[in-house]
Chains A and B, each alone.
Chain A
Amino acid sequence: MKIHEYQAKDILSRYGVPVQPGKVATTSEQAEAIAREFGVPVVIKAQVYVGGRGKAGGVKIAQTPQETREVAGKILGMDIKGLTVEKVLVTPALDIKEEYYVGVIMDRATQAPVVMVSAAGGVDIEQVAEETPEKIIKEPIDIRWGLPAWRARDLLQQAGMPSVVVARGGTILSLLARAFVEADATLAEINPLALTADGQVIAADAKILVDDNALYRQKEYASWSEPEEANPLEFQAKAEGLTYVKLDGNVGIIGNGAGLVMTTLDMVARSGGKPANFLDIGGGAKADVMKKALLFVARDPQVKGILVNIFGGITRGEEVAQGIIMAQPELPPGMPIVARLSGTGEEEGRAMLADAGLTWGFDMRDAAQKIVAEIRARG
């Protein structure tokens, strides 16, 4: 789950990490009041769940409270990569001397959180990693121990940071690692970690991703959830508990099991069609779940036909067929549907579909070819 910069800074400040002060505004009047409270100049930063806010014009400096109001008025409501800006963070501008990067990320290869440190901060760390990997110091940590401050100082020193940053940044990095573990983060980074002209070491920007699987025990952070996806269908799907990803094509796809659904998408593409979505109904789905999934996929106006591909183990063919038949009256008239049922209850399910005048495929390839042909035939 994504959270905003101001929320990530809030979490870090609870652990004692010095963060740049600031407040969130949802109107330009509020932004002006915050500028008066903290003093100008201020930086006005769009709070949206996408990277590259600065390049998109979502981060601006204002020299006076009046200018803050004008600039905030422009940023609020702005569209950044499909997401509308509803909040801005107003924060006193820092006199930054140097910018560094410190972060912790869950690493699949080492199966541990990995600490990353670089003296090349303030920029896209993935770009640094690709172009000049030698500028990043990486170290896996034992999640049961965390990162002791002395070890954090070693890493900062290896990265070539000055004495004051080694000393204060060591404590900050150790706290960042603790916050990462306790918040069930999959990523926690401070970028930039700023050294100011007056010698402060401070988090000028922060990003935290919280593990979706841990939201049951991170109730406060879970309550911060907002639409993450630029696509409204994906947001609705999440609210309805469906595992759905929107794609660009016109063939709606429903299946059971992530690997099988991905393979079905690939098969449709190979048969000359373009998948409109990924939807996994999981194991043991009953007729009502099947119906709900069909109606959901049909909500996408791009969808011109739907392929249902079910391998029945604990999912029964009759239940799937029943769900497809139940959905018929509520689907757009004439919407072609091809179902492929295999395994438990396949004979019964196919017979039910045939009785209802619906098409079925005898395997995944046959079904993919049939739905692509039916959509083409309807032009």
Chain B
Amino acid sequence: MSILFDSSSRVIVQGMTGSEGRYHTTRMVQSGTNVVGGMTPGKGGQTFEGIPVFDTVAEAKEKTGANVSCIFVPPPGAADAIMEAAASGMELVVCITEGIPVNDMARVAAFLKEHPTTLIGPNCPGLATPGAGKIGIMPYHIFKEGNVGFVSRSGTLTYEVVSLLTQAGLGQSSCIGIGGDPIIGTTFTRILQMFEEDPKTDAVVMCGEIGGSDEEDAAAYAKTMKKPVVGFISGRTAPPGKRMGHAGAIISGKTGTAQGKVEALQAANVPVADTIFDIPDLVKEAMRR
């Protein structure tokens, strides 16, 4: 077991024939992911590394039985790609694209309320289930099979912390990058719920950052969980009103500060690591209890 993605998942890649799509499709296949098709309008009938390419997601689903889509479509067409995937019955859509207009994402959010699809991202590194493969751009070699669930808003910070966990002998059940945009498909709270219900996960690491109040909401849920959660918040030195790289990483007024998030987590009995190097020990300690 794992969350969202396992070895039974049948994956298509939207935008597979572009340079990013090609590069990362090859690496997804190498990690063991069952990539059954690609989709690029106008490239139907071609193949890439023996994988058939289709003109529409509906056709790709019909011909391959795909249930998961990974999106590498550039920003102007990315929202359209997400809605096409949802309308075509994809159960899980992982959108890597950075730079989608926020109004487009508000339209997607409204659209997804009427569809049973789970969206991860956009502006995210994707997800991985060690032993089953990955969807997106995470470097797969850093993972190790195990029982720690991992969720983060960021890409490279995720790789750092996962590497530390792996070095400390703490393998992972699944690792989810939910994305750094203001409007994302799946929040920390929803991922924590999935880990709480996953029999293979015994503890969860949550790496948040400044901006919005998703971490505060997740803290309220973490308080009700049976499994321990360890937190980390980046951006303690970020000044208010400045966008720190991610479109969503901005302190507006008194909302979204690192201190507010740390306090909310601590109030929910979630230990918060001062630096990422403290995370493995906090996880071990939490699992002993």
Contact = CB atoms under 8 A, between A and B. Distances in A.
Contacts of A212: 247
A262 interface: yes
A342 to B, nearest CB: 8
B153 interface: yes
A226 interface: no
Interface stretch (B57-65, B197-205, B270-278): B270-278
Contact of B235 (A113, A262, A343): A262
A73 B242 CA distance: 32
A120 B180 CA distance: 35
Interface string B144-181: 00000000111111111001000000000000000010
A258 B110 contact: no
Find the residue from B101, B138, B247 having the highest chain A CB count within 10 A.
B101
Given A181-B103, A213-B100, A313-B137, A259 B246 contact: yes
A143 interface: yes
Interface residues of B, number: 55
B156 A313 contact: yes
A12 B73 CA distance: 33
A243 B245 contact: yes
Given A265-B238, A266-B234, A266-B236, A143 B246 contact: no
Nearest to A269: B237
B212 A258 contact: no
Contacts of A213: 75, 99-102, 247
Contacts of A216: 75-76
Contacts of A278: 238, 242, 244-245
A263 B185 CA distance: 24
A130 B236 CA distance: 23
A259 B153 contact: yes
Interface in B65-110: 75-76, 99-103, 105-107, 109-110
Given A243-B245, A258-B180, A278-B245, A265 B237 contact: yes
Nearest to A181: B103
Contacts of B109: 111-112
Interface in B224-254: 234-239, 242-249, 253-254
A275 interface: yes
Contacts of B101: 184, 211, 213-214, 217
Nearest to B100: A213
Given A256-B156, A263-B234, A270 B209 contact: no
Given A214-B101, A266-B234, A343-B159, A261 B139 contact: no
Contacts of B28: none
Interface in A220-262: 243, 245, 247, 255-262
Contact of A262 (B100, B139, B210, B212): B210
A377 interface: no
B238 A108 contact: no
A258 B249 contact: yes
Nearest to B233: A266
Contact of A258 (B103, B107, B239, B246): B246
A260 B160 contact: yes
B277 A259 contact: no
Nearest to B159: A311
A144 B110 contact: yes
B142 to A, nearest CB: 8
Given A108-B212, A314-B137, A263 B157 contact: yes
A294 B102 CA distance: 32
Nearest to B161: A263
A259 B103 contact: no
A365 interface: yes
Nearest to A258: B245
Contact of B237 (A126, A142, A211, A266): A266
A262 B244 contact: yes
A262 B153 CA distance: 12
A280 interface: yes
Contacts of A258: 154, 180, 209, 244-246, 249
B275 A267 contact: yes
A49 to B, nearest CB: 12
B244 A313 contact: no
Contact of A257 (B156, B236, B242, B248): B156
A211 B103 contact: yes
Nearest to B154: A259
A261 B155 CA distance: 11
Nearest to A183: B103
Given A181-B103, A259-B234, A343-B139, A247 B156 contact: no
8 contacts: A144-B107, A216-B76, A245-B239, A258-B180, A259-B234, A261-B244, A266-B237, A269-B237
Given A213-B101, A270-B275, 13 more contacts: A126-B253, A143-B103, A213-B247, A243-B245, A245-B239, A257-B157, A258-B249, A261-B245, A311-B156, A313-B137, A313-B159, A342-B160, A365-B277
**4 smallest beta-carbon distances between A and B, as pairs:** A259-B154, A258-B245, A257-B156, A259-B157
